Structure 1
Amino acid sequence: MLEDIPGLMEAIRARFAHVDSCPFTGPRVFFENAGGALTLNSVVETSARLAAIPDNQGRANGASEALVAMIAQGRADMRVFFNAAEGEVIVGESGTELLFRLIRAACLGTGTGVVLGSTLEHPASRSAAAHWAEMAGMDHVLIPHDPDTGRIEARAYGEAVTATTRVATVVHTSPVSGIGMDLPGIAAAIREVAPDCLIIVDGIQHAAHGGVDVAAARVDGYVVSAYKMFARHGYGVAWLSDRLATLPHEHLRGAPGAPWEMGTRDTAAYATFSDVVAYLDWLGAQVSAETARRARISAAAEAIRSHEAALCKAMLQGVDGLRGVAEMPGITVVGGEANAHREGLVTFAQAGRDNAEIVAALNAAGIRTHLRKADHYSGTVLDPLGITTSVRVSLCHYNTHAEVAQFLSALGACI
């Protein structure tokens, strides 16, 4: 656990902006990371520095050459992060926009057949698949998830896939429950029946909490949102396999290489992603003896997973003599109280109560959480459990057991 290494947690927290205090409301514990993680100080500095540069890319001057070099480095760092020796990495407006673009190309480029998804997915992928399946004359089939575990097992995909399945969408981790999926297992189950199926993954919730390895997963598209993994708003990043990248898509006629990116991109998007990768590289060096960059990033992901698992356990079972969430009266924990696949997030509801009251009380006590309602974002997960409102408490590796104790103390006072 990160807190067991002397001085490491202090060094980690020192690298993030506003780690324990909001610039508008003062001291607070930040447990709203699923809504957007804290930002690295290096990302803030890079964004400000590049915002002041007037030069454009592709010009015959030193400033432009420097910008082009930053973009090239950003792409290389994205490849290391995704563990992608092949394929293409692109930057877009947001994770949602990139999911729509990848799913659109996959549906329109494969003709008739089935687009396979699940009831667990975020509307970003579910809506894109529904829309573009209809536009392409394809059937959109949704696999029901297990409401008790908040999960879809690989066998469920294996049972639903057919030889006519052309596109499959998978959410790596649910942003409602925090429960992660067996992505390599799901991909393998799909490919056993439909080897040419294009598999597109929503990794937006997963990226900050576990390793990303598209080579091991054997998928065709993987999308992340920068602001949920220590960078900033304004861009998302996607990896596309060669099969997906070469499908017909919008681009400027005559542009070399049929590029996916359109218009002049923000150099800081690439450079700040480099900042994120550099941070993970640094963290991996603190928790392992690895020397290769990708190996250090993998070590960082494992350390993050282990630390956050310990925080979730403390939150659910209690710490420092305080009752855990699972021990409090009338509480239902989405995904179950003892779910080994939980990734840095606990969502719960108290029966017979508008849980917005709990979110408000925690906020007044300096604990930032979020209300999840049975709406178009979360209804498919909450409705089967009979939950209309819930409290989402989302952690990251820079959070501490002391902050969990502060949360439990405040929660105990309002339950």
Structure 2
Amino acid sequence: MTHTQDFRTIHTTAVSGFDDALLEQVRARFHHVDHCPYTGPRVFFENAGGSLTLKAVVARMAEVAALPDNDHRDNEASRAISAMIDDGRQAMGCLLGVEDGVVFGGETGTECLFRVIRAAATAAPPGGSMVACELEHPATFDATALWAKRTDRQRLTVPFDPHTGRVTAEEYARVVQPDTRVATILHTSPVTGMTQDVAAIAAAIRSIAPDCYIIVDGIQHAPHGALSVSAYGVDAYAVSLYKVFCPFNDGYAWLSPRLSVVDHDRLAGKPDDAWELGSRDPAAWAGASEMVAYLEWLGGNFTTVKGRRERLLAAGQAMHDQEAALMQRLIHGGDGVAGLKELPGVTLIGEVDSPWREGAVSFCVEGRDALDIVAELGERGIRVHARKDDAYSGNILRPLGLPSVTRVSLAHYNTPEEVDACLSALAEVVTGR
């Protein structure tokens, strides 16, 4: 098995999730899994805004953060730090499923994407266009607008289908032009909850503009399934580990060999493919290693193969299946509890049984503001979030014709009982009982 092998998890429909014993072990590895230190017991369904954090990651990062030494010094502590950074970079490369190019760390995934889009835009031949999809997060949607303007290029946008909540390769093909220099793709939407077929979209772009730099926002997809970036045919892929069981301010990006060496901000004496400016926190790399080790452990419950990459693929499949089972229960209900699609006045964003839904479902309630729904669920111990027509979600909600939506976002450590608690609380909220 190579790093480019992919389980195509987006097409898998789960019939069951983790067994009780494994789910208990999983939950024991996370901080604050069922209790907020400020509000008390609660169900955490705000994972798209930032996941729960692994205890091992927090402990390891604190241990490394206490070290006073730096990389590239002539002492044992420095050599140990260098090894931690190397291990973390290798772990991230294995998680992403890449075998060449460069993996670098930054402040956030958004910061990484802005830097990469700027470099691609300034390195590409003059003229032509830059393409983004209206489904995208501002990390790419705003960055393409900014750098199209600064490089005096036409900026083209691909509309998404409001009915399905996603965009297809065919829709990209109608917008991309032979002289398109840079195109961006969102892997999974944190608003509609829908995944895009990145490989198919990239292939469609390449068939029209072979030399186009293709940059992918993988931030929302990363915690929900296997990653096989080398198989996608793209030039860059970014993630933010605060959505993958780590603390905030920890973003990473992979760059293809050709994009890694374009002119970009770097110290003059550094290699052509150096992207990190100044010293990155070794604790961040150590935390990334711990997160990958957790996924290795999880995958080991589903495969007897010993290789790290194989276990990471198995973990991605297992997380997808667990979350698909929870999402099925959330939408359709079970054991006498009405699902979202059965609650009065509730309208889901996207098709009810879409095979592309991943980790999140957004909905509106007739005659109700999403912010009020969120507040009332919060009073009942259910932590969810509202997306509204603002700098983060306006470009997505406007085509849907909605001022705001309530989002329930889950992760593999959530339970059927938490889903039922959410549905019961929401039934009270929408019926006024």
Q: CA deviation at 1:218?
A: 1.1
Q: 2:56: which partner in 1?
A: 42
TM-score (norm 1): 0.98
**Does the alignment pair 1:310 with 2:316?**
no
Q: CA deviation at 1:152?
A: 0.5
TM-score (norm 2): 0.94
Deviations 1:373-402 (A, max 9, x none): 122211222223322121110000000111
**Does the alignment pair 1:177 with 2:177?**
no
The CA distance in 2 between the partners of 1:102 and 1:258, in whole Å, is: 12
Q: 2:211: which partner in 1?
A: 196
**Does the alignment pair 1:94 with 2:118?**
no
5+ long unaligned stretches in structure 2: 1-13
The CA distance in 1 between the partners of 2:400 and 2:273, in whole Å, is: 47
**Does the alignment pair 1:103 with 2:114?**
no
Deviates more, 1:372-381 or 1:56-65: 372-381
Contact preservation (8 Å) 1:150, 1:381: no
The CA distance in 2 between the partners of 1:114 and 1:407, in whole Å, is: 45
Contact preservation (8 Å) 2:84, 2:286: yes
Q: CA deviation at 1:290?
A: 2.5
Q: 1:27: which partner in 2?
A: 41
Deviations 1:11-67 (A, max 9, x none): 111111111111111111100000000001111101111121111111111111100
The CA distance in 1 between the partners of 2:55 and 2:163, in whole Å, is: 39
Amino acid at match of 2:98: A
**Does the alignment pair 1:61 with 2:61?**
no
Deviations 1:152-199 (A, max 9, x none): 011111222221011110000001011000011111111111121111
Q: CA deviation at 1:122?
A: 0.4
The CA distance in 2 between the partners of 1:46 and 1:210, in whole Å, is: 24
Amino acid at match of 1:396: A
Deviates more, 1:393-402 or 1:382-391: 382-391
The CA distance in 1 between the partners of 2:109 and 2:271, in whole Å, is: 25
In percent, how many aligned pairs have the same letter? 50
Secondary structure of the residue that 1:160 maps to in structure 2? coil
Deviates more, 1:189-198 or 1:36-45: 189-198
Q: 2:65: which partner in 1?
A: 51
Contact preservation (8 Å) 1:115, 1:138: yes
Secondary structure of the residue that 2:174 maps to in structure 1? helix
Which residue among 405, 411, 417 is the counterpart of 1:390? 405
Contact preservation (8 Å) 2:17, 2:325: no
Secondary structure of the residue that 1:271 maps to in structure 2? helix
Q: CA deviation at 1:257?
A: 4.2
Secondary structure of the residue that 1:163 maps to in structure 2? coil
Contact preservation (8 Å) 2:102, 2:273: no
Secondary structure of the residue that 2:391 maps to in structure 1? coil
Amino acid at match of 1:85: E
Secondary structure of the residue that 2:67 maps to in structure 1? coil
**Does the alignment pair 1:187 with 2:196?**
no
The CA distance in 2 between the partners of 1:291 and 1:65, in whole Å, is: 28
Deviates more, 1:336-345 or 1:180-189: 336-345
Q: CA deviation at 1:6?
A: 4.8
Which residue among 4, 7, 15 is the counterpart of 2:29? 15
Relative to structure 1, the CA distance from residue 114 to residue 318 in structure 2 (aligned partners, 3 Å threshold; closer, same or farther) is same
**Does the alignment pair 1:322 with 2:299?**
no
**Does the alignment pair 1:282 with 2:306?**
no
The CA distance in 2 between the partners of 1:374 and 1:309, in whole Å, is: 28
The CA distance in 2 between the partners of 1:15 and 1:222, in whole Å, is: 28
Q: 2:89: which partner in 1?
A: 75
Relative to structure 1, the CA distance from residue 4 to residue 55 in structure 2 (aligned partners, 3 Å threshold; closer, same or farther) is closer
The CA distance in 2 between the partners of 1:47 and 1:292, in whole Å, is: 25
Contact preservation (8 Å) 1:284, 1:290: no
Deviations 1:287-343 (A, max 9, x none): 122222111111111111111111111111112211111111111111122211000
Which residue among 146, 161, 172 is the counterpart of 1:131? 146
The CA distance in 2 between the partners of 1:126 and 1:4, in whole Å, is: 36
Deviations 1:333-388 (A, max 9, x none): 11122211000101111011112121111111111000111222112222233221
Aligned residues: 415
Relative to structure 1, the CA distance from residue 354 to residue 157 in structure 2 (aligned partners, 3 Å threshold; closer, same or farther) is same
The CA distance in 2 between the partners of 1:183 and 1:389, in whole Å, is: 27
Q: 1:263: which partner in 2?
A: 278
The CA distance in 2 between the partners of 1:348 and 1:325, in whole Å, is: 9
The CA distance in 2 between the partners of 1:264 and 1:277, in whole Å, is: 22
5+ long unaligned stretches in structure 1: none
The CA distance in 1 between the partners of 2:128 and 2:200, in whole Å, is: 23
Q: 1:371: which partner in 2?
A: 386
The CA distance in 2 between the partners of 1:275 and 1:383, in whole Å, is: 40
